[in-house]
Amino acid sequence: MISFRYLFKYLLLGILGLSIALIQPSFLLATGNKDAQLHQAELLNQKGQRQLDQGQATEALETWQQATKLYQRLKDTEGIAGSLINQNLALQALGLNFRACNVLLKALKFNASICSTSADTSFDSTKRLLNAEIDKLNPLPVHLLGLQNLGNVLRRNGKLSSSEIVLKKTLSLAQHLPNFDISIILLSLGNTEKSMFQQAQDKYYWVEEPIFQKEVVNLIREKALESLEIYQRINNISGISKEIRLKAQLQRLNLLLNFDKWLTAESNLGSKQLATIQSQINQQIRPLVEVILKNSSVFSELPANQSVYTKLNFANSLNLIPNEQLQSLALEYAQSALKTAKSTNDQRLMSNAFGTLGKLEKQTQRKQADLEQAMTLAQSIQAWDIAYDWQHELGDLYRKQGKYQQALEAYSAAINNLTQVRDNLASNVDLQFSFYEKVEPVYREYMQLLLSSPNPNLELVIQTNQQLQIAELENFLRCGKLDLVPLNNLQNLPRNTATIHIIDLGSSIEVIVQSPDRSLHYNSIDANLIRSHVDNLLDILQSPKLFSRNRSLIISSYQKLYSLLIAPIKVYLPSSGTLVFALDTSFQSLPMGLLNDGKDYLIKQYSVAETLGSKIRPPLSLSQNQFIALIAGLSKKSPSFNDINVPKGLKPLPKVVTEVTDVKKQTNSSKVLLDENFTTLQFQEELSKNNFPIVHISTHGQFSSNSEQTLLLAYDKAINILEFNSLLKGKTDTDTNAIELLVLSACQTAKGNKRSTLGIAGVAAQAGAQSVIASLWLVDEDSTAVLMQEFYKGLKNGLTKAEALRHAQLSLSSNPQYTHPYFWAGFVLVGGWL
């Protein structure tokens, strides 16, 4: 049997494996002796492996780079590929996964775009590209090793679908080679399926709509069972290495425990199938622990760096089992891992060992000492991705000890380090797939701590909330840092503008207002007094029968919200002007203009805008020469209605023709794409060829807490938010060519979704738009056409976007035909309001 373990040694130690003295490369190159240079390259491979095993990844990388140069001089293509694969291993150990991916592409001579394929690239096109590249290979063992590593690094970069495609294809190729050991490929595939399980778990906490939650629950179950089956399959293969068997057992144990934990937490789902699965899982955990303990000598037989991580993996799993003896054993394994890590002098290894030990330790002083040591080591090598975790743990520990100032400093440092890694949040698989478990709590706990002071730093609370919501948006879009500006950094704003931050901290709702004079004030409200009114309003506003609901019910609930949220801060607001709301999750699907003081709606007194995290693109007003629009509309049923992600039961919108015609009259030199002409390709071509400060789209759309379900319908297909960016490439590259106003006039919020602003802000971010006006529910076609006509008329008369929308809404609300909020209140302005 050709084993990957053997192949690994073949690549790392060289073909001949001769035990010769290490000769300096300079001497070899001077002699020009081909055999001597080959021996030198082989010995460099051996040296690099020893260095990597001892945790010296930087030194291993340099050594393997020397080996690559020698193979290149010798024009040894197999040696070049093997040494590049080795370089990738060192880069992965250093956490440089994107560089590792690119090195592998060189080794395999693959298309350079594979590593940088963005989230907006469709699954089908990615699959075609990967299959085409793999099909060009002559599948030698070295190529299979490269493909297996490519699957690993794609997973570490968060590209799980690509990883799965590569590994399944690699497995198929390996099974066609005689006597080939497939266990290492299966282990990689099992790990990718496990990451898909973790991704689905995080999505479950993100997605709020019942219909989509059901889909995610099925995905969680499917991926957990697929991964468990693969790990068990590895265990059943005879003759595989002890190392691979142990790793598969540890991964299986960890998955069993995490799946069981999730099933316990979500036992209210009431599924008999899930209950049966949980019963089966419980029966497998303890026997598997006994098997691992019986073969515990394997931990010490591994190379030092692998020994450390496998011991820590086992320690973390043991600690999840409610058994004092096993939890004591977890501490012993963590202590053993620390001892091994110290022998390597690898700072990252030691930081992970100290940090894990600190998390497991029950005795407070030892816990604090271990976490502080872990933090110091992580900071010394700028390993921000693990430093934040130890600082978060320390912050929580200091808080429990009543060390307020130290707790503040630890939380602040944790958030600063999260900011350091935010550029890579979309490609950091650990953070991306555990956002609600590992990232969000750091920000919310810090805000709670700040507000527990008798004189809280309100500016810092606002700043922290901004950071959280922008990180949330970036994670939603799977993108890097967004170029947004905090509201309090903006200059020359109108003096009658106030910003209201509504922050949900679990047990309390915090309302912070920044008055026109920039002074800050706040009010804290018991969350129990508010939640029932919010939930009641969401049920009403997201009902398909909204129009038939009694208007007094809506007004009554909004009056109660007004008395709790606005009345206590009314004294700090201007008498008229603009209110900019920065809303937390719970409130994002409620139009704030409907807040009612018992006499009238809020928009009777103020124009209203919303932002996400009170950060926006610098707001600019439209000048008269910018009234040039691209107007796209879909008035009849089209192929896109059949897309799997499109809500069922959508009907054509015949009055879109009237709306499109009216908007064209109100704007200058505008271009219309209606029905068959509104294809994704034509839309993209128009945007790339021409400058349109206004883009008006009248078509079915949906805002969901699931990015794949946040979409707009073109004639030919549904465009989800992750694809929207690719349609607008080139449009958002320069400020002079940016979209000033994006109008989405026939959208709706998915039933149960509380995060509409997130979806709208996501569209704005992908479009690079300064401002977005969108409907939260599917409004009557006739009233929409009237409202849009009034809105554009106001803009042409010099009103700000917020004022123009306010005047249009007031115009409809005063019309006896359209007094019900259904007709006019669903339109919200997100972003710049000038």
pLDDT tens figures, 579-601: 999 999 889 889 999 999 999 99
| CATH (residue range 1-181) | 1.25.40.10
**Per-residue model confidence as pLDDT tens digits over 132-189:** 999 998 888 888 999 999 999 999 888 899 999 999 999 999 998 877 789 999 999 9
409/686 Cα distance (integer angstroms): 51
Alpha carbons 554 and 558: distance in angstroms, whole number: 6
Of 149-163, 304-318, 474-488, 636-650, which one has max mean pLDDT? Answer: 304-318
Average pLDDT, whole number, for the chain?
A: 87
Residues 355-392 have pLDDT tens digits of 999 999 999 999 999 999 999 999 999 999 899 999 99
Q: Which two tokens stand for residue 71?
A: 């193979």
Domain 485-616 has CATH 2.40.30: no
Report the pLDDT value the prediction gives residue 21, as an integer from 0 to 100. 29
The residues that bridge with 168 in the sheet, in sequence order, are none
**CB–CB of 630/687 below 8 Å?**
yes
What pTM was estimated for this model as a whole? 0.85
Higher pLDDT residue, 123 or 558?
A: 558
The pLDDT confidence band at residue 615, using thresholds 50, 70 and 90, is very low
Distance CA 558, CA 72 (A): 72
Encode 625-677 in three state secondary structure: HHCEEEEEECCCCCHHHHCCCCCCCCCCCCCHHHHHHHHHHHCEEEEEEEHHH
| pLDDT value for 29 | 43
How big is the chain, counted in residues?
834
Query: Tokens 């995490």 sit at which residue?
Result: 258
Which tokens belong to 529? Answer: 């007094």
Domains of the chain by residue range = 1-181, 203-295, 296-361, 384-477, 485-616, 624-831
Strand residue runs (E) in 72-229? none
Q: Confidence band (pLDDT; 50, 70, 90) for 725?
A: low
Class of domain 624-831: alpha beta
Give the CA distances from residue 705 to residues 21, 124, 199, 352, in Å, rounded to whole numbers and listed in that order.
Answer: 62, 23, 15, 34
Report the SS3 class of residue 190: helix
Residue whose tokens read 């889909």: 215
